[in-house]
Structure 1
Amino acid sequence: MSAALPDTVADRAGINPVAKLAAASVLALGLIFSVDWVSALTALVLEIALLLVLRVPPRLMAVRGALVLLAAGLTAVTILLYGQSSGTVYWHFLLITVSDGSITLAAATFLRVLAIALPSVLLFIDTDPTELADGLGQVLRLPARFVVGALAGLRLVGLLRQDWQYLGFARRARGVADHARLRRVAGQAFALLVFAVRRGSTLATAMEARGFGAHPTRTWARPSPFGGREIALILAAFGIVAVAVGVSVGTGHWNFIGNL
């Protein structure tokens, strides 16, 4: 990373992306076995504390977490209206039933989606795709051909929007984009697919010619260190899951997902 970047970004970027991926996976796997609001809320509070320790700015957390909050809210509304009904029924219309059970389940689902998705989004705020590919290839020992190919494809995703604009300009210049909007969008989407396939084929041929398919001789330009900070982050994720589950079981709110 450049020295001109803020210290907070540089510090977070110093953590290997594989450790971030492992921590997010631990949190997700540890929270999917129960649907209760206690464990989700406990994990969410501890995750926010961990993100603050990692120096993620609160404003950035609020901005990036807005979409997660929206997704969690929409999921909770669906559970509220169509979830399992129990206890007092407050409103019923056709298939919609709002009851004590659906309200509790909706609240638990809302908190659980936040607890699972929020760290996954925020931990990868400043992760460079090249650094992630280096970690997957050097730390996890994934096949270099797969890793580098996926990285190259990911780098080309940003060109799709530019290609879509150029296709639109070209079709308007030829006078074929003034009518039948639905047909125009379908034809332009097919042309974009053809462009993507051609560019991918060209890139694959160029990479093959430069030796990217020779796995035994694959070398990495930059090392991907994995040390104490990475281990501490993964252990912190295990600790958050352990505390969340322990508090839920201790308070009697543990609700194994298989019992729903």
Structure 2
Amino acid sequence: MNRRTTQLDRLNPVTRIAIAIVLSTPLIITLDWLSAGVALVLVVATALVIGFSVAQVAKRLGLLLIVALIAGVSMALYGEPGGDTWFQWLLIHITDNSLRLALAVVLRVLALGLSALLLFGDVDPTDLADGLAQVARLPARFVLGSLAGVRMLGLFTDDWRSLGLARRARGLGDTGRIRRWFSMAFALLVLAIRRGSRLATAMEAKGFGATGTDAPSRTWARASRLGRPDTAGVAVAAVLVTIAVGFSVYFGTFHWVGS
């Protein structure tokens, strides 16, 4: 089954990083429930408009809900007290202000997490590497090494499965689960080190490690460029956070972190 395409597919991966920075910075440096709530609503609405289905958005929100609730409960129990006290015992002090901060934290985790999952959940590592090297002008050696490492991450699952099957074939996989886990983890570490060494040697032999003035200029199989959709994407992100923060300022709920 083919993946559902969205308007995000028209954006350069580097633009997605820029959008994430634009969306997250105002929400990180402020802490009020209204701006976070408006931002969450706007992110969900924008996701539906650009092509994400309701099921896709709901699934991602479900993944974030547990983390958001844990952060919110911690803030409610130990947040800065203020207003009426609802419950107090030892270090636990639940007040009106701590509950407002808890709501703000929950909404912020959902808004920031959802935007990150939507932006980077389907990014192709090769496209991202092309963008970082050609658009962001990061060192090619660093980008290619990171790309190779990310590509190798997918092999860990296969290696773990193979190790488990090998141990079961030898009659070692039915007892001592904790001991088995540690032994398999050590074996997987050894495999990763060996594979990394072979990969580094192969990349050096193919000239990926060439540096200095005598090194040939790096060429790329696929060009990575910015276009009008990238400008529009960053502009939309800026409008969204401006509306969210503007609501909190207008209604008097704006609150800086640490103030």
TM-score after normalising by structure 1: 0.91
- Equivalent of residue 150 in structure 2, options 134, 144, 154: 154
CA distance in 2, matches of 1:168, 1:148: 31
SS in 2 for 1:32: helix
1:228 CA displacement: 0.7
The residue that corresponds to 2:32 in the other structure is 36
- Identical aligned pairs, as a percentage? 49
- Equivalent of residue 174 in structure 1, options 162, 170, 177: 170
Task: Give the letter for the 1:257 counterpart.
Answer: V
1:27 CA displacement: 0.9
CA distance in 2, matches of 1:70, 1:201: 39
The residue that corresponds to 1:247 in the other structure is 247
CA distance in 2, matches of 1:50, 1:231: 16
The residue that corresponds to 1:206 in the other structure is 202
- Equivalent of residue 103 in structure 1, options 99, 102, 118: 99
CA distance in 2, matches of 1:177, 1:100: 53
CA distance in 2, matches of 1:65, 1:9: 19
1:10 CA displacement: 6.0
**Structure 1 residue 45 and structure 2 residue 31: aligned?**
no
Unmatched tracts of structure 2, length 5 or more: none
The residue that corresponds to 1:114 in the other structure is 110
1:125 CA displacement: 3.0
Residues 92, 98 of structure 1: 8 Å contact kept: yes
**Structure 1 residue 190 and structure 2 residue 186: aligned?**
yes
Q: 1:160 to 1:232 in 2, by over 3 A?
A: same
- The superposition leaves residues 84-115 of structure 1 with CA deviations (integer Å, 9 ceiling, x where unpaired) of 22222222333323221221111011111112
Unmatched tracts of structure 1, length 5 or more: none
More divergent stretch after superposition (239-248 vs 143-152): 239-248
- The superposition leaves residues 216-235 of structure 1 with CA deviations (integer Å, 9 ceiling, x where unpaired) of 43111011121110011111
Task: Give the letter for the 1:28 counterpart.
Answer: S
TM-score after normalising by structure 2: 0.91
SS in 2 for 1:257: coil
1:178 CA displacement: 4.3
CA distance in 2, matches of 1:129, 1:109: 31
1:18 CA displacement: 0.8
1:179 CA displacement: 3.9
1:243 CA displacement: 1.9
- Equivalent of residue 134 in structure 1, options 106, 125, 130: 130
CA distance in 2, matches of 1:211, 1:176: 43
More divergent stretch after superposition (178-187 vs 71-80): 178-187
